[in-house]
Structure 1
């Protein structure tokens, strides 16, 4: 399973801590699983290419080689490690609305990120400790997380709880006086339940709160609150269809925060084996969100020295993502996967009424190629 981030994510809006979410994702087996360290060592090497654009011009390009390792350490320990280097280039819009357009400022940056998680396996309990960092020219983040998983005696129910913390440093390459900090805390509770031999459901609740600098240092007049509380509820349902030898996945996510943003995301995907070696995974996702209380399509703002942002990532919008992943199992140990996704965002697609009217349509494409091998 892989969660695709929104192409609109940025430092000012996203919470960098992903350790607890990763722990929850690990609890999504196709069938009940025993609490045991990894069987052997698995290595995955992949390459991601990303391009976004609007009506005026191509905007950002991202190229990111990635490495993921999962292995057992003795009989009771397991280790997961991931690393990536993202090379970003392009022109970024300065205000993110139709009135201001793109700034024309050239962006060239490189982000280096890595995370690691060490897990200790008891008979029906797993304790995990994770560390993560991300570093680029104008942004540094450090995070840590601790989680515990408990598996019922019949192996049909898994509970997970976790805590996390992050510390970020934000600057601006063209404004040396901007040297800001942000700190965050996160807590998560989750439940995975096997409903039948062919159905499983997972639901988890995540709460995070942060304080410090949330404004965008590159956008003129952007001024956001110095704290943010976020609540997200994610539910996943998986059902295997024996007659078709296929599986359907349904996901729903509800999100709200103290800035007034309310969002709903619904995703469905189909897992279909083709022959003895191929697996096809078409997917469709719809996302709708309301605007933050201080978001405005007006530029400049009607009143200065007040909370204000014209960043469309805080506006009312709707978005659709379509994707297709094809996996070729060369052998029982080796898999090659190619995945493509296309994203479109428009104000008029906002559910329940018109969105932020001055927002320009936005599009993005992902393409990734991966090679995975399991050493026994």
Structure 2
């Protein structure tokens, strides 16, 4: 099953862009993305097409594909590397009436051992002379978790997401947004392939399946702000706090600088930090079998932090060079992310043929850390 890796596309004002009572412009976007780090490679294409109808309705469709190759330490310590493919299709409609925009979307994704369907609805309203925007959104997902090699295994997972946001223009140079989100998850919420380690009576290592609670409630709060500098550049800052019923709390902070050059280039640089505590039922090594009711050893449930540094550039192709489009922009973004785990160890046994291999006692393995690179290259064309 693909552990979905979130890749942020280069939407500079995501989550805080002021909707000026107009529908999104007609456009087509073609994206290639790639994540490479920690023994995991994920890459694939995505295509988005959006079209306006009578200046009142905007419809869109999206196709997205992931190719995954995983040889991460948790995979190698319990099995063999694997490859996987996931495809996702989505469609939506936005309806504009006065200063109110209503949106409806649906998406479906499929892979060999996981199927997901999501329906979402959103509404936003402008007031106070279009200086303020309030938005509400809701989505519901119904997934089916399966296990390759075990045809009889099929478990449901349900997700509900509630969100509210406020965007405010504070001055001609300053815009700010506040968002809150609650997510309710229910059903089979862990990976059916993963196991936890425990010590046996003989001092060796045994394995048993992970076991998560069947419900999870989480809340997230974010504040984002963008300030336009006198020389056409801008600064964006973001802070986000997350907490859930599994005992995880997390914080991330981001600072981004956007600088236009001449009439065609936009350069961007960012730094982002993230840190989280471990789930209450996580352990890298349990003292014995059935040590507690719920068991997790997935590194995403552990205490860890990461630091991301990113660079990006956009180039606008002049209209005089285009025959069928009003304008087109080529975008390239690169992030380097350094992950450091506070209580998750590197458990892959050394190669028996390695003369320099050093055996490590159980429970004394070195803590795990790695670097990942994320690349997004996409072309946006307006018509």
Q: TM-score when scaled to structure 1?
A: 0.84
CA 301–172 in structure 1, closer or farther in 2 if over 3 Å, else same = farther
What is the match of residue 286 of structure 1? 273
Q: Which moved more, 1:229-238 or 1:328-337?
A: 328-337
Q: In the alignment, what sits opposite 1:134?
A: 109
Task: Please say if residues 327 and 335 of structure 1, whose CA atoms lie closer than 8 Å, have aligned partners that are also in contact.
Answer: yes
Tell me, yes or no, if structure 1 residue 343 matches structure 2 residue 328: no
Name stretches of at least 5 consecutive residues in structure 2 with no aligned partner.
Answer: 196-208, 320-326, 345-363
1:210-221 superposed matches below 5 A: 210-220=185-195, 221=209
Name structure 1 gaps, 5 residues minimum.
1-8, 19-24, 54-58, 96-100, 351-355
1:362 equivalent among 355, 367, 370? 370
Given the superposition, is the C-alpha separation of residues 116 and 275 from structure 1 closer, same or farther in structure 2, using an over 3 Å criterion? Answer: same
Partner of 2:46: 66
8 Å contact kept, 2:311–2:333:
yes
Aligned CA distance change for structure 1 residues 300 and 105 (closer, same or farther; 3 Å) = farther
Provide runs of 4+ in structure 1 moved above 2 Å.
Answer: 25-29, 92-95, 101-104, 174-178, 299-306, 347-350, 356-359
Matched, 1:234 2:209: no
Match of 2:85 among 98, 103, 110: 110
- How big is each residue's C-alpha offset from its partner over 1:48-103, in whole Å with a ceiling of 9 and x where there is no partner? 121112xxxxx1111211111222122210123221111112324437xxxxx644
Q: Pick from 244, 253, 257: which aligns with 2:240?
A: 253
Q: Distance in 2 between matches of 1:312 and 1:367?
A: 23
State the partner residue of 1:88.
68
Q: Distance in 2 between matches of 1:76 and 1:161?
A: 20
Bigger radius of gyration, 1 or 2?
Answer: 2
Q: Which residue of 2 aligns with 1:52?
A: 37
Q: How does 1:258-269 map to 2 (within 5 A)?
A: 258-269=245-256
Matched-pair contact (CA < 8 Å) for 2:67–2:85: yes
Q: Secondary structure at the match of 2:71?
A: strand
Residue 326, structure 1, aligned to residue 301, structure 2: no
CA contact (8 A) 2:342 2:367 kept: no
1:301–1:313: structure 2 CA closer, same or farther, 3 Å change rule? farther
Residues 234, 27 of structure 1: CA spacing in aligned structure 2 closer, same or farther, 3 A cutoff? closer
**How large is the RMSD of aligned CA atoms in angstroms?**
2.5
Alpha-carbon separation, structure 1, partners of 2:102 and 2:51: 16
- Post-superposition Cα deviations, 1:110-150, rounded to whole Å, max 9, x if no partner, equal 11012222111011111111111111111110010111100
Aligned residues: 339
Decide whether the 8 Å contact of 1:295 with 1:308 is kept in 2: yes
